[in-house]
Amino acid sequence: MLSIFNRSKFLIDLIEGIPDFHNHTLPGIDDGSDSVETSRKIFNSFSEIGINQIVATPHIIGEYYPNTPFTIEEAYNKILQEKAGPKRLTYAAEYMMDQHFLEILKSNDLLTITENKVLVEMSYFQAPINLTQILFKVQNNSKIPILAHPERYTYMHSKDLSKYKELKTRGCLMQINMLSLSNHYGKGIQKMAYQLIENGLIEYICSDVHKLTHLEKIKEIKVPNKYTQNILRICDNNRELLQH
């Protein structure tokens, strides 16, 4: 599905077949899918663009989304019981880096993407005051943080990308949102997304889908040709991460 003038490519032509390990597709436990039937529709839409390996990652945010391995497994089992998801469906979590997360780290009760990689996020308003300490403790637990949607933290934006580069030196891998390659979150975030890709600061790409309309928008995204090789390399990282 190439664009008419061949100056850009549809994103779905680049991401076909990759595993998606950041999405909110388990029913009724965060701000994502509200029911098994909604989950079924989302998974079917994933399948239409060739994505059939999915790691569902509900939010764990203190008292706001106080999910646990038990509540997440419960929601996952509903999908299995209703046969509403793909065969290659597993689950992990997206952790807000806050005090509650530090307590979870102490118990070593993490739901990880792979054995040693954990999906984390920050507030959209400001980074945690103790961010360095949190990242240090993650690594002390023999885990590697994958920072979700770094392009969306506007307080990190700068021409020299210095705050991003600092996080890389502290062991952070970075995962960009597919929707950030459009103006879905705003033109400033779209610009930063491409800047991070161009500078080789992004390891992974995922949907961060919360609802069916997000996937409909992803299907319409066109990527300028100058970025396609970088995005293809990022897609290869997704595949390598979850090969089995």
Query: What would the pLDDT profile of 16-44 be if each residue is shown by its tens digit?
Result: 999 999 999 999 999 999 999 999 999 99
Q: Does residue 182 lie in a domain region? A: yes
Q: What is the pTM of this model?
A: 0.96
Bridge partners of 8, per DSSP, are 224
Q: Which residues of 152-189 are buried (b: 16+ CB within 10 A; e: fewer)?
A: bbeebbeeebeebeebbeeebbbbbbbbbbbeebeeeb
Average pLDDT over residues 108-120: 96
Say what the pLDDT of residue 202 is: 98
Integer Cα distance of 34 and 47 in angstroms: 20
Q: Does residue 199 lie in a domain region? A: yes
pLDDT tens-digit readout, 132-186: 999 999 999 999 999 999 999 999 999 999 999 999 999 999 999 999 999 999 9
Q: Does residue 36 lie in a domain region? A: yes
Query: What total of structural domains would you count in the chain?
Result: 1
| Residue 234, burial from CB neighbour count under 10 angstroms (0-12, 13-18, 19+) | buried
Domain containing 179: what range? 8-241
Q: Does residue 2 lie in a domain region? A: no
Q: Does residue 226 lie in a domain region? A: yes
pLDDT tens-digit readout, 175-218: 999 999 999 999 999 999 999 999 999 999 999 999 999 999 99
Q: Does residue 1 lie in a domain region? A: no
Say what the pLDDT of residue 117 is: 98
Contacts of 107 (CB under 8 A, 6+ apart): none
The CATH number for 226's domain is 3.20.20.140
